[in-house]
Amino acid sequence: MEAIFFAVVNRGKANAVLHKAQEYGARGGTIFLGEGTVHSRLLEQIGLDESHKEILMIPASRQLCRKLHDMVCREFMFTKRNRGIAFTIPFRRRTLQESGVKPESPAGGAAPAYSCIITIVDKERGKDCLKAAWAAGARGGTLVHGRGAGVPTEFYYPLVIEPQKDIIIIIAPREKAAPIKERIASELELEKPGKGILFILPVLQTSGLFENEPGDQGGVAS
Amino acid sequence: MSLLAEKAKDVTRTLLPVVILVLLLCLTIVDVEAGVFIRFLVGSAMLLVGLSIFLWGVELAMNPIGEHMSREIATSRTPLKIALLGFLLGFLITVAEPDLLVLGYQIEAASGGALSASVIVYMVSIGVGVLVSLGIFRLLGDMPFNRFMLITYVIIFILSAFVSEEFMAISFDASGATTGALTTPFVLAISLGLANIKGGRHTEENAFGLVGIMSAGPILAVMLLSVLTEQKNIASVEIDVGVAEGVLGPILDALPSIFVESIVALLPITLLFFIFNFTRFKISRDELSRIIKGLLLILAGLVLFLTATASGFMDMGRIMGMELAGMSRWLLIGIGFLMGLIVVLVEPAVHVLGQQIEEVTSGHIPLNLIRITLSIGVGLAIALSMVRIVIPEVKLWYFIIPGFALALVLSFVSEPIFVGIAFDAGGVASGPMTATFVLAFAQGAATVIETADVMIDGFGVIAMVAMAPVFSLMVLGTLFRHARVEFPSRKEKEAPSLPPEEELQHNCIMVIVNRGFAESVVDAARLAGATGATIIRGRGTQEDHKVVLPIIHVELQPEREIVLLITGAHLSEQIADNLLADPLLVREGEMAVFMVPTEALVKIPEQDAPPGGASSGT
């Protein structure tokens, strides 16, 4: 396993994509739920700025990832707008055998054109993060709800409070990644401890992204 | 696809079968005058718009309110505050429920004034308050849900030996009346919020069940009232079964009173939230405006929806019941079954519960499977109610007591998350559609059949609708746990990896494990030097086998958890080794560890780990 293939699709469609991918040789996948966002002031005003998404992750070899990109473009029309987007991130599978093995050459070939910016902040601040990213030129984003690892408390019931977190996934062209990062970091005060974290992952290949025209409504757009 | 379009699509899909069934009947055997027929069509359109807007508003406003309120409850420092807040919530939302007041007047009339409507309303509200409060203690104190329900229902069974059949029907009906269109989504949201705050391995099970606990409150309250006042017999009163004429007239007549009722029903939740927001939460302006928007949408949607059911569907149901009962008894039972099958899916709370099941289990429990099971349960409930109307010897308790008793037994062998969902479904299924359309159908049938009593048989219908889904979903949960078949599939040889590396300071580690193991992953990672982590719920196929439910061939995707850790590059190897060295995580957790170098912006707080986001020293 040399990479993970990600696909963001409308809710209910992830299973279909996964089954198709299995026909192409994928072994399995993990699905989680998220919310897509549209970058439109009007829609935001009337509250229409959200849609339900599913995010599918399939661990696969680089070669299979390329095949899967072809597959989603052909079978699920990712070449058209709003059908979903897909991207590959070079996660490497760790097993005990290769403990300590020094990883080799970088992504290989040309430098990737896109970056995946992931920000993790307290719930309720996810929207602010997206706004900051849009102001810096990002074009969409997917919101995922998660929880932080627990912190014990001393209320009447000794709860282990698991703070709710928003995870924001933004795919942006590589040259835009730095300004977006700066903007998010300054507007959400990420330089202060405990305010949240941000990290950038390299992206090998994308499908379904539309760079030039405005008004696209995909889950993650750039 | 936007949220509103999504809701509208979902509502259309559930409403269409109802419209088609009614159209088919009207065009073939049932003779309906044009006014009622057109009013039904207008009502269907209103219902479509109203319910879509309502569900949209619930998602915008109700879930955040529930979350804030439940945090306030859970972070109490004394048990007294938990008890008081829980009671207050339960009491206030119930006392404002319009359906309950209607029921109160019916009982007042039926008991010849011995029990006044306000006594009934307050008694039932106190019952709900006490049970919501107990339910919150149960959740926070980790008492098993099935044991709690067993105790509650044993008390109900004992009490039911002392009350007459009429009172038993009324008490179960009161339970249906309190779980209205507004209270159910609100209590579901509270339940979800509490479960999320409590966290831990039982988060998913805990997200359900509070509605089920709450619906036991009115049953206990009314039965106690009957025992204490020694009020046993209920006189039958005439119920107005007239059919309104015209198209627009009845709709406009119904609108003002429903508008007032809706505002009254929405008021306690809104006030309570604003008082607490003012003194405690102090949420951001953006979120507040979102919640206010949501509340307005809920109000608009509710008014449209309730007007549609009251003016468009009630008369149609009554006429159909009367005509079919006059034709053939078998036809009545058959059509009753069909109606139950499809009408329940239009209930607003059923949509809300479905949404919550999807969110909480990340799609692990197929939503359609829940809906089909719910449909079959309610279909049978209506069919059996028709049998009861046709054959007076068949008593209500023939079904209610064994139904609940069996469900309680099954709750100990069923998949735990289904126990909560099943008891919730009882309250969820008996909403405004049942109270208008189905009830009118039953009452219509009862007016034609001489041996039937319009009032008493009418009461029983809602009790049946509240019982049947509990039973049918519990059966499904048992199947889910015991009848699954595992298919081994081939295990592929892993290709040797050629991983990339850049001169980066951090690594992103993504660990995918089975549900419940995320905490162990975090603990193991902490031992190796990580400080925090973020956990996402997901579902996925395991790598070497798949699980399929027999007969219906639904593939079950096991629930998984995704743990994200950002660590310094020098620590990540150690953390990965530490995780992979844990045999429990690898074997039971079916763990997969992925790593990628990343450019990260991470700050460590002065003393302790940040409460959430992953971080580590560099």
User: Rounded to a whole number, what is the distance in Å from the CA of A101 to chain B's nearest CA?
Assistant: 9
Does residue B134 share a domain with residue B171?
yes
User: Rounded to a whole number, what is the distance in Å from the CA of B405 to chain A's nearest CA?
Assistant: 32
Q: What is the mean pLDDT of residues B460-480?
A: 89
Q: What is the mean pLDDT of residues B197-218?
A: 86
DSSP for B34-64, please give it. Answer: HHHHHHHHHHHHHHHHHHHHHHHHIIIIIHH
Does residue B112 share a domain with residue B154?
yes
Q: What is the pLDDT of residues B525-540, one digit of tens each?
A: 888 877 778 888 888 7
Within 8 A of B540 by CB-CB distance, chain A residues are 28-31, 57
Q: What is the pLDDT of residue B103?
A: 80
* Helices (H), ranges, A88-125: none
Q: Is 80 exceeded by the pLDDT of residue B87?
A: yes
- The residue out of B482, B509, B534 marking a domain boundary is B482
Q: Given pLDDT bands bounded at 50, 70 and 90, which one contains residue B190?
A: very high
Q: Is B230 on the interface with A (CB under 8 A)?
A: no
Indicate yes or no: CB of A199 within 8 angstroms of CB of B592. no
Does residue B469 share a domain with residue B348?
yes
Distance (Å) of CA A135 to CA A39, B265, B285, B446:
10, 41, 20, 65
Q: What is the pLDDT of residue B502?
A: 39
B555 found inside a domain: yes
Within 8 A of B140 by CB-CB distance, chain A residues are 157, 159
Cα gap B68→B66, rounded to integer Å: 6
Q: What is the pLDDT of residue B338?
A: 93
Indicate yes or no: CB of A95 within 8 angstroms of CB of B580. yes
Q: Is 50 exceeded by the pLDDT of residue B605?
A: no
- The residue out of B482, B510, B542 marking a domain boundary is B482
Cα gap B273→B61, rounded to integer Å: 11
**Burial per residue of A79-117, b for 16 or more beta-carbon CB atoms within 10 angstroms, e otherwise:** eeebbbbbbbbbbbbbbeeeeeeebeebbeeeebebbbb
Within 8 A of B509 by CB-CB distance, chain A residues are 94
Indicate yes or no: CB of A32 within 8 angstroms of CB of B536. yes
User: Rounded to a whole number, what is the distance in Å from the CA of B540 to chain A's nearest CA?
Assistant: 4
Contacts of residue B328, defined as CB under 8 A and 6 or more positions apart, other chains included, come to none
- Joined tokens for residue B592: 């997969």
Q: Which residue of B78, B538, B604 is in closest CB contact with A156?
A: B78
Indicate yes or no: CB of B594 within 8 angstroms of CB of A59. yes
Q: Is B75 on the interface with A (CB under 8 A)?
A: yes
Nearest residue of chain B to residue A177 (CA atoms): B599
Does residue B525 share a domain with residue B470?
no
Indicate yes or no: CB of A192 within 8 angstroms of CB of B606. no
Indicate yes or no: CB of A94 within 8 angstroms of CB of B593. yes
User: Rounded to a whole number, what is the distance in Å from the CA of B425 to chain A's nearest CA?
Assistant: 23
Spatial contact of B204 and B117, defined as CB atoms under 8 Å apart: no
Q: What is the pLDDT of residue B241?
A: 58
Q: What is the pLDDT of residues B407-427, one digit of tens each?
A: 999 999 998 889 999 999 988
Q: Which of B5-19, B159-173, B296-310, B414-428 has the lowest mean pLDDT?
A: B159-173
Within 8 A of B141 by CB-CB distance, chain A residues are 157
DSSP for B7-41, please give it. Answer: HHHHHHHHHHHHHHHHHHHHHHT----HHHHHHHH
Cα gap B135→B70, rounded to integer Å: 13
Contact map slice: B 463-522 vs A, CB within 8 A: 492, 494-495, 497-502, 506, 508-510, 512, 519, 522
Q: Is B31 on the interface with A (CB under 8 A)?
A: no
Give me the residue label for tokens 């069923």.
Answer: B414
B239 found inside a domain: yes
Indicate yes or no: CB of B199 within 8 angstroms of CB of A159. yes
Q: What is the pLDDT of residues B128-186, one digit of tens each?
A: 999 999 999 999 888 899 999 999 999 999 998 888 877 788 888 888 888 878 888 99
- For residue B63, how many other CB atoms are within 10 A of its CB? 22
B95 found inside a domain: yes
CATH number of A3-213: 3.30.70.120
Specify which of B149-153, B263-267, B325-329 reaches the highest per-range mean pLDDT: B149-153
Q: What is the pLDDT of residue B53?
A: 93
Q: Given pLDDT bands bounded at 50, 70 and 90, which one contains residue B20?
A: very high
- The residue out of B415, B450, B482 marking a domain boundary is B482
Q: Where residue B507 sits, what CATH number does that domain have?
A: 3.30.70.120
Does residue B520 share a domain with residue B469?
no
Q: What is the pLDDT of residue A151?
A: 61
B293 found inside a domain: yes
Q: Which residue of A99, A163, A185 is in closest CB contact with B611?
A: A163
Q: Which residue of A93, A99, A150 is in closest CB contact with B199?
A: A150
Q: Is 50 exceeded by the pLDDT of residue B347?
A: yes
Low-confidence ranges of chain A (pLDDT < 70): 1, 38-50, 97-112, 150-156, 158-162, 211-222
User: Rounded to a whole number, what is the distance in Å from the CA of A118 to chain B's nearest CA?
Assistant: 9
Q: Is B610 on the interface with A (CB under 8 A)?
A: yes
Indicate yes or no: CB of A198 within 8 angstroms of CB of B600. yes
Pairing of strands A3-10, A50-60: antiparallel
Nearest to B187 by CA among B153, B205, B210, B204: B210
Q: Is B1 on the interface with A (CB under 8 A)?
A: yes
Q: Is B74 on the interface with A (CB under 8 A)?
A: yes
Q: What is the pLDDT of residue B96?
A: 83
Q: What is the mean pLDDT of residues B483-512?
A: 54
Mutate to test the interface with B, among A115, A147, A182 (most CBs of B within 10 A): A147
B339 found inside a domain: yes
* Burial class (CB within 10 angstroms; exposed 0-12, middle 13-18, buried 19+) of A174: middle
Within 8 A of A116 by CB-CB distance, chain B residues are none
Q: How many CA atoms lie within 13 A of B577 on its CB side?
A: 12
Spatial contact of A215 and A140, defined as CB atoms under 8 Å apart: no
| B212-B218-B221 Cα angle (round to 5) | 135
Number of structural domains found in chain B: 2
Within 8 A of A122 by CB-CB distance, chain B residues are 612
Q: Is B602 on the interface with A (CB under 8 A)?
A: yes
Within 8 A of B206 by CB-CB distance, chain A residues are none
**DSSP, res B496:** P
Whether the predicted interface score ipTM is above 0.85: no
Q: What is the pLDDT of residues B500-525, one digit of tens each?
A: 333 457 888 899 888 888 888 888 88
Q: What is the pLDDT of residue B469?
A: 92
Q: What is the pLDDT of residue B610?
A: 40
Continuous segment of H or E residues that includes residue B577: helix B569-580
User: Rounded to a whole number, what is the distance in Å from the CA of B316 to chain A's nearest CA?
Assistant: 35
Hey, which bits of chain A come out as E strands? 3-10, 30-37, 50-60, 85-89, 92-94, 114-122, 142-148, 151-152, 160-161, 164-173, 197-203, 205-207
Rounded-to-5 percentages of helix, strand, coil across chain B = 70, 10, 25
- Tell me how far apart the terminal alpha carbons of chain A are, to the nearest angstrom: 27
Q: What is the pLDDT of residue B74?
A: 84
Q: Which residue of A94, A146, A163 is in closest CB contact with B580?
A: A94
Q: Residue B578's domain spans which residues? A: 501-617
Q: What is the pLDDT of residues B569-598, one digit of tens each?
A: 778 888 888 888 888 888 888 888 888 888
Q: What is the pLDDT of residue A154?
A: 63
* Helices (H), ranges, B308-366: 314-327, 329-343, 348-361
Does residue B540 share a domain with residue B469?
no
Q: Is 60 exceeded by the pLDDT of residue B221?
A: yes
B426 found inside a domain: yes
Does residue B174 share a domain with residue B124?
yes
Q: What is the pLDDT of residue B379?
A: 95
Q: What is the mean pLDDT of residues B60-81?
A: 87
Indicate yes or no: CB of B77 within 8 angstroms of CB of A32. no
Residue A174 one-letter amino acid: R
Indicate yes or no: CB of B3 within 8 angstroms of CB of A105. no
Does residue B377 share a domain with residue B302?
yes
